[in-house]
A and B are shown apart, each in its own frame.
Chain A
Amino acid sequence: MTSNSLAYSEQPGGGEAAELGQEAIPAPAPAGAFGLFGSDVKKNEDLKQMLESNKDSAKLEAMKRIVGMIAKGKNASELFPAVVKNVASKNIEIKKLVYVYLVRYAEEQQDLALLSISTFQRALKDPNQLIRASALRVLSSIRVPIIVPIMMLAIKEASADLSPYVRKNAAHAIQKLYSLDPEQKEMLIEVIEKLLKDKSTLVAGSVVMAFEEVCPDRIDLIHKNYRKLCNLLVDVEEWGQVVIIHMLTRYARTQFVSPWREDDGLDDNEKNFYESEDEETEKSDKRKKQYTMDPDHRLLIRNTKPLLQSRNAAVVMAVAQLYWHISPKSEAGIISKSLVRLLRSHREVQYIVLQNIATMSIQRKGMFEPYLKSFYVRSTDPTMIKTLKLEILTNLANEANISTLLREFQTYVKSQDKQFAAATIQTIGRCATNISEVTETCLSGLVCLLSNRDEIVVAESVVVIKKLLQMQPAQHGEIIKHMAKLLDSIAVPVARASILWLIGENCERVPRIAPDVLRKMAKSFTSEDDLVKLQILNLGAKLYLTNSKQTKLLTQYILNLGKYDQNYDIRDRTRFIRQLIVPNEKSGALSKYAKKIFLAQKPAPLLESPFKERDHFQLGTLSHTLNIRASGYLELSNWPEVAPDPSVRNVEVIGLAKEWAPSGKTKKENPVKKFYSESEEEEEEDSSDSNNDSENRSGSESGGDSSEDSSEDSSSEQESESESESEVENKRSSKTQRKSDLEDRGKKTSRSKTSDMSSTGSSSAEENSSDSESESESESETESRKVPKVKEKKPQQDRNPINPGVSLLDLDDFNLVSTPIALPTPALSPSLIADLEGLNLSSSSSVINVSTPVFVPTKTHVLLHRMSGKGLAAHYFFPRQPCIFDDKMVSVQITLNNTSDRKIENIHIGEKKLPVGMKMHVFNPIDSLEPEGSITVSVGIDFCDSTQTASFQLCTKDDCFNVNIQPPVGELLLPMTMSEKEFKKEQGMLTGMNEASATIIAAPQNFTSSMILQKVVNVANLGAVPTSQDNIHRFAAKTVHSGSLMLVTVELKEGSTAQLIINTEETLIGSVLLRELKPVLSQG
């Protein structure tokens, strides 16, 4: 197209006038005469005719060409009237292209654009959701202020649409309307508030985006939706995830207290998390000194973790910055691996990720040190990547790795990319200043570089050496002399200036060379660069002060040259120096101090990372990348001193019980309700199974609805809501709604499986159960990693009464693990559920469940006394974690101490004398244990559900000691959670022979729920079962080896007596347990 139309595009307002003008001109050209020689007028006329024809194909062709024009940036605005007529076209492609056109030009042709509005209004009521959605999209994209009320109305309606896709578009429309007319803010916030409550994953991302754009400061809107957003997160589409994570990061920084207290040590948080409610009780005295992570804070950290595995770099980065900004420092380490993975991606991704790593590596070196080699530079990297990698390598350098790094740097210095080589030299300089051990080595290396052939390299070396010498000038006379010689050869002004400055500064150490240098420079003064001239003046002045005999004349000569220099600065400096150093009658008091002024001790420059000051920007943001505040950047606030009221996040606002007991009671009541509706259901099991199985992607619709409902009628359970709890909830209250869903599903199942229902069915049922079993395995892994921490905290934990409220929560977690009470589950492949439409996800969407036993007793048992072990002492205790070696084993932690004064070598387990059937998984031999050293190892022993002793030999290099472990009966169990109903059902099947009971008598104060729980779990690894009655406490577990149920009931009777009942198939263990529990419960 010619300049004609281009001109129009420059002045959109003139479009109409121009068009009128064109219409005035008669256009005699016949159709089809467009092409190379056709003028604009003709061509557009042609298009107009095509648009007005009756044939869709002609219209489509015309529209395609028009879109082509738009794409090329050519102006097609004069076709507006002809195009807008087709907005109601039946042909969907024409319609779409018209939409494209409209959105592009409506702003310029506002009046005409109004013609199309009614079409959209009609389309907004179309039964097809795609059409409704796109009508809303286009309507809201038409930037015509007049239609603001119509848009507002449309948005309001769409936000209540049944289709989540339409609601998503409504969320987008909010932002558009806001940018068109900020006056609407209040109304829009209302819509946002409403949409934030939406449970569809499709909507979540978009509405948070709208929130961020319209009212990012209205953090109060988030409170109620916080947990839902956390739980939905994994299932939201990736772009939404990024936005939500960024928003939640900001949220967390305003709502939770800092997990970074130094005095608190690193691994406090785990334990504190589980005890959080404990604090409630002892709030007053403990809050001050002990940090407690809010469970909601933990929820966020935990739910974002799987996203580190996302294929989307933006999501990974978002999670990384979240961990960086809000997680305890000890946990942030996991992000480094994922960030390093991103370095394999495209160059642009690398660039941003490296920048962020650079900032991180300044503050926490340790995080990236293991990945040092991933930052090695390749000759094929673009320069910007190379420099960033160098920056990171510098930050990571320490005494241990500096020698490897310096060797690596040597190759970089020789790089063909001279800019990079220069950057490397600076890097070496920084390493030299930071790590004093290598300063000398670096310096000599840099001096070698002075004889490099490349001038840039030499110049850079000079500058860096100058900085280094400034820090310790005394011993380096030789280097200065060497550099003085370089003045003859080197031409780069910065380097020359640096050398001169250095000589001037150290002129007393090189008394013979300095005047000579000045002489040479005086000769070449006029041809030097300004920078060098200034330094010559400086050198002259300094020499004049220290060695005026030799240099007086020279200096005066230079000052004279400087006086008539062309450069203003130099003349200025000359005058200044002359006044200062040359005594004359006018010179004031200052000249007496000239020497002090010129030869003052100068502080050495700090060679700092250019990324140092970036850390005040939130990582992963544009502002961080540019190191400038980008417009719209939302500051990450500092942690509040005192956490705002956490109860605002409770979905149902009910005053928090201050004491745990009443709240615990209500809590226990709820599950009862939950499970009443549950009977025989295989379906039930099945749906929950598949829930777990498919990361809750499946079966989400009903789950979502129900969880909302349940949260409305159940009150205080949200207090410590965890995903698993809500899962339980879902089970309950979704019952009714879900039933029907399940039926649907069932139908689908049978439809697709008619023929091999049995085979596939059973296999996938196995699948499911094995699923959960191995889940427990993996969890045990995580557990076992945690074990040392738990141990450290033991004494404290002991003192605190255990909190059943919180423990319940944990047990609920555990539920997922230990419920493979394999009810025959009909196979329902996740795909089928996935097949079901609907995106509403329950708030119980997948997260990694961390399960722990209610309580880990701290008591250790002596395995080998140090006297009998010739200095080797061994203690063991039961960490109550599912064993990682074999699920039939009980895990035992053995702590070995060397109390002797020599090394004990090769500690291992020798001959095992185990009773028949028992198995043992030994620890890997320990090579050596230093005196005073201690090491904890874990072994797994399959006790076959008996209290028989496991005897084996603990051997060192020289000796073998016979030791044995006899397990308390309580350690042969793994806690389970089940509902009260399930409990009763199971109990009903374990009567008669399988029941053992005893009456206990104790003071009433010992019969508070907390006391009972504490006592019971202290003795045995049992899980508490929620209960509806105040006076009955139930506990459940299964034996480790056979998996038989172990049900313990404590029923409080009148007059300080209680009935203790144990139901189990393993009667032997049952009776032993009864014997053990009885005295514990009765004693004060």
Chain B
Amino acid sequence: MIHSLFLINSSGDIFLEKHWKSVVSRSVCDYFFEAQERATEAENVPPVIPTPHHYLLSVYRHKIFFVAVIQTEVPPLFVIEFLHRVVDTFQDYFGVCSEPVIKDNVVVVYEVLEEMLDNGFPLATESNILKELIKPPTILRTVVNTITGSTNVGDQLPTGQLSVVPWRRTGVKYTNNEAYFDVVEEIDAIMDKSGSTVTAEIQGVIDACVKLTGMPDLTLSFMNPRLLDDVSFHPCVRFKRWESERILSFIPPDGNFRLLSYHVSAQNLVAIPVYVKHSISFRDSSSLGRFEITVGPKQTMGKTIEGVTVTSQMPKGVLNMSLTPSQGTHTFDPVTKMLSWDVGKINPQKLPSLKGTLSLQAGASKPDENPTINLQFKIQQLAISGLKVNRLDMYGEKYKPFKGIKYMTKAGKFQVRT
């Protein structure tokens, strides 16, 4: 399946290569560079590039291209999903996934990659298992290793690999047993000029951080599970139980994991927590335009909207902007024409606004469309869909765990057309 993997940084250097079958010369990446050049932006590089003898499948994350070389027919998503899993694993191992970190830990990276694939077919991708095979580097462990001569490499087959709960290792021990669940919902929306909703939907995830001793068996139930329209689970969730009772029943992996991602059914109207008032005008005659936006809360269920940032890609004709915000800071990059305004909290009594003028290229005709405004925000302690966890129970272990559930609503792809 996957023949080789090349890691390419944004300046086009191949800084890591790994082959699982016969060596494929790195010159194969020339086809990739060609495509990259044609695409102008990194985002537009096609994920699948055919070359005379190979196919290059790539993902772009953290400013690194992960290019897999394959030779024969294979479901492309198989490779792409795997590459993303590789990135996730690196992130899990090293905290960040960046070129310097990978270069620093090249041996661990190599060992991990060796375990993840055998002959190009995924062998162990579950981070729990990998971590038992190859322990992530920590300062402490490095020190200990140099003194004792022990290694980062496990010499036993991880128990998870053979058990029916491969995602959990055995013999987990904690003094404080805790289980935290974050219900995070994102609103994807497109608002039109007049402020009415073109499309809006809510996607949510439940991220968990479970540090429990032994083999706990958890059940999590919702007050209103009907809200969940489409769900995808971590493999630990018992599907049947969900089908029949709408209860999440699972033996959790150890540590952080994504328990569930869901989509809130489309019939439910989505409450839009913010509105943006805008007036952006370019005049044909003069080289000046007016710009004014105000952000305000709409349906927030009494919660404060925080972490608001407004970004907007200005038309090419805009040379500069002179703006004054009522709060927060703003920047305008005259090269990329990107305006961003870090608003912070919205105070309903005093709505934040950004006013001023923009100067246009002299002589150029006025741009025929207004920029779209992208919005980011956060609302703590609120799941906008109204989803509520009813209870969390633990079976199979006898201690009392500490349980915590946090709700948060965020803007996903939230766009306002002007």
Which residues on A are within 8 Å of B, measured CB to CB? 12, 56-57, 60, 64, 67-68, 70-73, 91-93, 96-97, 99-100, 104, 107, 128-131, 133, 137, 140-141, 143, 163-165, 168-169, 172-173, 175-176, 179, 202, 206, 209, 234-235, 237-239, 242, 246, 306, 309-314, 316-318, 337-338, 340-341, 344, 346-349, 351-353, 370, 373-374, 376, 378-380, 382-384, 408, 411, 414-416, 452-454, 620-623, 625-626, 628, 630-634, 692-695, 697-698, 700, 752-753, 755-756, 760, 763-764, 767, 770-771, 774-779, 829-839, 841, 846, 848
The contact of B59 among A128, A175, A348, A411, by CB within 8 Å, is A348
Residues in A neighbouring B245, C-beta threshold 8 A: 770-771, 774-775, 777-778
The contact of B50 among A168, A347, A626, by CB within 8 Å, is A626
The contact of B240 among A72, A238, A695, A755, by CB within 8 Å, is A695
In the bound complex, do residue A242 and residue B238 qualify as a contact, i.e. CB atoms below 8 Å apart?
Answer: no
Interface of A (DSSP majority class): helix
Residues in B neighbouring A416, C-beta threshold 8 A: 313, 315-316, 369, 371
The contact of B233 among A311, A374, A622, A839, by CB within 8 Å, is A311
In the bound complex, do residue A337 and residue B229 qualify as a contact, i.e. CB atoms below 8 Å apart?
Answer: yes
Residues in A neighbouring B294, C-beta threshold 8 A: none
Residues in A neighbouring B76, C-beta threshold 8 A: 352, 620-622, 625
In the bound complex, do residue A834 and residue B215 qualify as a contact, i.e. CB atoms below 8 Å apart?
Answer: yes
The contact of A71 among B17, B190, B216, B243, by CB within 8 Å, is B17
A574 to B194, CA, bound (A): 57
Q: B164 in the interface, Cβ–Cβ < 8 Å?
A: yes
CB pairs A–B below 8 angstroms (28 shown): A68-B106, A71-B18, A91-B151, A97-B111, A100-B110, A107-B23, A141-B119, A163-B157, A173-B119, A179-B21, A237-B166, A306-B243, A311-B261, A314-B75, A348-B83, A352-B76, A380-B413, A382-B43, A414-B369, A416-B316, A621-B75, A631-B71, A760-B396, A771-B241, A777-B244, A834-B251, A838-B164, A839-B162
**Contact (A628, B50) CB under 8 Å given A73-B26, A309-B233, A416-B315:** yes
A556 to B74, CA, bound (A): 60
Query: Chain B residue with minimal CB distance to A620?
Result: B75
A834 to B245, CA, bound (A): 21
Residues in A neighbouring B26, C-beta threshold 8 A: 73
A143 to B19, CA, bound (A): 13
In the bound complex, do residue A452 and residue B164 qualify as a contact, i.e. CB atoms below 8 Å apart?
Answer: no
Residues in B neighbouring A91, C-beta threshold 8 A: 149, 151
Query: Chain B residue with minimal CB distance to A246?
Result: B75
In the bound complex, do residue A312 and residue B81 qualify as a contact, i.e. CB atoms below 8 Å apart?
Answer: yes
Q: Chain B 219-253 against A: per-residue CB contact (8 Å), 1 yes, 0 no?
A: 00000000001111111001111011100000100
**Contact (A771, B244) CB under 8 Å given A68-B106, A311-B232, A314-B78:** yes
63-97 of chain B: CB within 8 A of chain A: 70-78, 80-84
In the bound complex, do residue B78 and residue A374 qualify as a contact, i.e. CB atoms below 8 Å apart?
Answer: no
Please tell me which stretch of B198-206, B299-307, B319-327, B328-336 contacts chain A, meaning at least 4 of its Cβ atoms lie within 8 angstroms of it: B198-206
In the bound complex, do residue A830 and residue B251 qualify as a contact, i.e. CB atoms below 8 Å apart?
Answer: yes
**Contact (A311, B415) CB under 8 Å given A370-B266, A382-B41:** no
Q: B44 in the interface, Cβ–Cβ < 8 Å?
A: yes
Query: Chain B residue with minimal CB distance to A311?
Result: B232
10 extra A-B contacts, CB within 8 A, seeds A376-B199, A775-B245, A829-B215: A72-B16, A91-B149, A237-B122, A309-B239, A341-B230, A693-B241, A695-B240, A834-B215, A837-B162, A841-B164
Residues in A neighbouring B111, C-beta threshold 8 A: 96-97, 100
Residues in B neighbouring A415, C-beta threshold 8 A: 369
Residues in A neighbouring B109, C-beta threshold 8 A: 71
A700 to B163, CA, bound (A): 10
- Closest Cβ of chain A to B409, distance in Å, is 16
**Contact (A374, B44) CB under 8 Å given A622-B74, A631-B73, A837-B159:** no
Residues in A neighbouring B217, C-beta threshold 8 A: 829-831
Number of interface residues of B (CB under 8 A): 112
In the bound complex, do residue B47 and residue A351 qualify as a contact, i.e. CB atoms below 8 Å apart?
Answer: yes
In the bound complex, do residue B203 and residue A344 qualify as a contact, i.e. CB atoms below 8 Å apart?
Answer: yes
A128 to B231, CA, bound (A): 40
In the bound complex, do residue A104 and residue B23 qualify as a contact, i.e. CB atoms below 8 Å apart?
Answer: yes
Q: B37 in the interface, Cβ–Cβ < 8 Å?
A: no
Residues in B neighbouring A837, C-beta threshold 8 A: 159, 162-163
- Closest Cβ of chain B to A596, distance in Å, is 45
Residues in A neighbouring B21, C-beta threshold 8 A: 176, 179
Q: B143 in the interface, Cβ–Cβ < 8 Å?
A: no
The contact of A349 among B81, B192, B216, by CB within 8 Å, is B81
A129 to B415, CA, bound (A): 55
**Contact (A831, B215) CB under 8 Å given A100-B110, A697-B164:** yes
Residues in A neighbouring B34, C-beta threshold 8 A: none
Q: B15 in the interface, Cβ–Cβ < 8 Å?
A: yes
Query: Chain B residue with minimal CB distance to A133?
Result: B157
The contact of A238 among B17, B110, B235, by CB within 8 Å, is B235
Residues in B neighbouring A234, C-beta threshold 8 A: 239
A311 to B262, CA, bound (A): 11
Interchain residue pairs A-B with the least CB separation, the first 9: A632-B72, A93-B151, A414-B369, A829-B396, A130-B157, A373-B199, A831-B215, A348-B47, A778-B244
- Closest Cβ of chain B to A1061, distance in Å, is 35
In the bound complex, do residue A348 and residue B163 qualify as a contact, i.e. CB atoms below 8 Å apart?
Answer: no
In the bound complex, do residue A755 and residue B398 qualify as a contact, i.e. CB atoms below 8 Å apart?
Answer: yes
In the bound complex, do residue A453 and residue B58 qualify as a contact, i.e. CB atoms below 8 Å apart?
Answer: no
Q: B22 in the interface, Cβ–Cβ < 8 Å?
A: yes
Residues in A neighbouring B417, C-beta threshold 8 A: 411
Most central of A71, A140, A408, A623 by chain B CB within 10 Å: A71
Query: Chain A residue with minimal CB distance to B155?
Result: A92
Residues in B neighbouring A67, C-beta threshold 8 A: 106-107, 110
A313 to B261, CA, bound (A): 13
Residues in A neighbouring B287, C-beta threshold 8 A: none
Residues in A neighbouring B75, C-beta threshold 8 A: 242, 246, 314, 317-318, 620-622
94-109 of chain B: CB within 8 A of chain A: 106-107, 109
Residues in B neighbouring A68, C-beta threshold 8 A: 106-107
Most central of B23, B83, B164 by chain A CB within 10 Å: B164
- Closest Cβ of chain B to A147, distance in Å, is 16
In the bound complex, do residue B146 and residue A310 qualify as a contact, i.e. CB atoms below 8 Å apart?
Answer: no
135-190 of chain B: CB within 8 A of chain A: 146, 149, 151-157, 159, 161-166, 170, 188, 190
In the bound complex, do residue A625 and residue B48 qualify as a contact, i.e. CB atoms below 8 Å apart?
Answer: yes
In the bound complex, do residue B230 and residue A348 qualify as a contact, i.e. CB atoms below 8 Å apart?
Answer: no
In the bound complex, do residue B234 and residue A378 qualify as a contact, i.e. CB atoms below 8 Å apart?
Answer: no
A81 to B235, CA, bound (A): 45
- Closest Cβ of chain A to B56, distance in Å, is 11
A880 to B118, CA, bound (A): 53
In the bound complex, do residue B372 and residue A838 qualify as a contact, i.e. CB atoms below 8 Å apart?
Answer: no
Residues in B neighbouring A312, C-beta threshold 8 A: 81
A206 to B120, CA, bound (A): 11
Residues in A neighbouring B157, C-beta threshold 8 A: 128-130, 133, 163, 165
Most central of A176, A314, A833 by chain B CB within 10 Å: A314
Q: B125 in the interface, Cβ–Cβ < 8 Å?
A: yes
- Closest Cβ of chain A to B172, distance in Å, is 12
In the bound complex, do residue B162 and residue A164 qualify as a contact, i.e. CB atoms below 8 Å apart?
Answer: yes
Most central of B83, B214, B243, B415 by chain A CB within 10 Å: B243
Q: Chain B 340-383 against A: per-residue CB contact (8 Å), 1 yes, 0 no?
A: 00000000000000000000000001001101101000000000
A753 to B365, CA, bound (A): 79
In the bound complex, do residue B80 and residue A73 qualify as a contact, i.e. CB atoms below 8 Å apart?
Answer: no
In the bound complex, do residue A93 and residue B152 qualify as a contact, i.e. CB atoms below 8 Å apart?
Answer: yes
- Closest Cβ of chain A to B178, distance in Å, is 18
